[in-house]
């Protein structure tokens, strides 16, 4: 009996310690979600400024196809992709969802059979766990980036991705670049999305070129960079790519922490149920032990009182 109750006490202590860890992780995940969502919101004004600049360039520069993604690899039909996942666990189906979405989408983008079309892909993974899933699906992962642990780490990551992908594009190794990541949709819910970065969407370009300027003072494109107007356009396109990658990374990190928060909430609920069951079992065994000890005392008393009663009767 004592060993059983001692074992239950140990289980109760272990479950309580685990619950403290889980609740700490819940708090950290909730705090991280707010930070990443705020970073996306703060990026909105800058993204709007970049789009205004692009609208002026698209309006003034007639043929910019060579600058906006119609690369030398167009004839080869090679597609590049950046897939955002996680380095850490406890995120449920987070990596599985984005990896499956990337595999299905890339398979649909290629005209060749899947086995042959793998040579037409260049895939970069952000996160070791999603890299493993992409490799298991047979995708050619040519690069791996570490997932940033804070908002401050997003900008260096985006810089690394831009340097890597631009080097491949300059060599004409691919003509299109896609992003795959999980986007938050509501509380603790996210969905995998696909965004094509290059070549820039024609409808989007036309809408920017035709959009009215917000003031009566129409701007002019000046050659602040080497190359005149085309240099300005190249600089703005690079900023557009930076904004898109930053937003994708921040939304992926917010989704990762939302998934972790949901997992920790389920774990907290399971621990609560376990603690309730252990407490009920512990109190029942403890009461049973007390009852047995009382019965032993009463039985002993009865055994001692029996001979005395017999003598008194005599």
| pLDDT of the residue at 118 | 63
* Domain layout of the chain by residue ranges: 2-21+267-313, 33-266
| pLDDT of the residue at 79 | 86
| pLDDT of the residue at 72 | 43
CATH superfamily entry for domain 33-266: ATP synthase, F1 complex, gamma subunit (3.40.1380.10)
Tokens at residue 278, please?
Answer: 């252990």
Three-state DSSP state, 112: coil
pLDDT in tens, 117-147: 566 788 999 999 999 999 999 898 999 999 9
> Where does the pLDDT of residue 2 fall: very low under 50, low under 70, confident under 90, or very high at 90 and above?
very low
Closest CA to 272 of 24, 4, 22: 22
Tell me the pLDDT of the chain averaged across its residues. 83
Q: What is the pTM of this model?
A: 0.81
The mean pLDDT value for 260-275 works out to 91
Q: Across-strand partners of 124?
A: 82, 143
Q: Which residue pairs, CB below 8 angstroms and at least 24 apart, start in 162-171?
A: 162/238, 162/241, 162/242, 162/245, 164/124, 165/80, 165/82, 165/124, 168/80, 168/122, 169/71, 169/73, 169/80, 169/198
> Where does the pLDDT of residue 169 fall: very low under 50, low under 70, confident under 90, or very high at 90 and above?
confident
Between the alpha carbon of residue 72 and those of residues 66, 67, 140, 173, 177, the distances in Å are 9, 11, 21, 8, 13
| pLDDT of the residue at 66 | 46
pLDDT in tens, 40-74: 999 998 999 999 888 888 876 654 554 554 444 44
């Amino acid at each position: 009996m004592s060993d059983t109750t001692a074992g239950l006490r140990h289980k109760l202590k272990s479950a309580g310690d685990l619950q403290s860890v889980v609740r700490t992780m819940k708090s950290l995940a909730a705090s991280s979600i707010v930070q990443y969502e705020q970073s996306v919101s703060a990026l909105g004004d800058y993204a709007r400024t970049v789009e205004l600049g692009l609208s002026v360039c698209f309006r003034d520069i007639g043929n910019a196809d060579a600058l906006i993604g119609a690369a030398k690899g167009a004839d080869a039909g090679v597609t590049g992709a950046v897939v955002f996942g996680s380095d850490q666990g406890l995120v449920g189906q987070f990596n599985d969802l984005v990896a499956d979405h990337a595999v299905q989408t890339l398979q649909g983008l290629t005209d060749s059979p899947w086995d042959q079309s793998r040579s037409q892909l260049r895939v970069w993974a952000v996160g070791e766990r999603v890299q493993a899933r992409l490799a298991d699906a047979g995708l050619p992962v040519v690069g791996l980036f570490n997932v940033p642990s804070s908002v401050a780490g997003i900008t260096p990551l985006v810089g690394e991705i831009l340097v890597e992908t631009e080097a491949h594009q300059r060599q004409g190794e691919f003509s299109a670049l896609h992003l795959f990541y999980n986007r938050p949709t509501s509380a603790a819910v996210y969905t995998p999305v696909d965004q094509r970065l290059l070549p820039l969407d024609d409808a989007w370009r036309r809408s920017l070129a035709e959009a009215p300027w917000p003031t009566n003072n129409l701007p002019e494109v000046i050659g602040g960079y080497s190359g005149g107007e085309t240099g300005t356009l190249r600089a703005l396109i690079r900023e557009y790519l930076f904004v898109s990658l930053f937003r994708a990374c921040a939304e992926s990190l917010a989704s990762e922490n939302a998934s972790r928060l949901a997992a920790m909430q389920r774990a907290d609920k399971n621990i609560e149920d376990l603690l309730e069951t252990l407490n009920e079992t512990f109190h029942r065994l403890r009461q049973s032990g007390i009852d047995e000890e009382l019965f032993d005392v009463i039985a002993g008393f009865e055994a001692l009182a029996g001979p005395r009663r017999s003598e008194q009767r005599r």
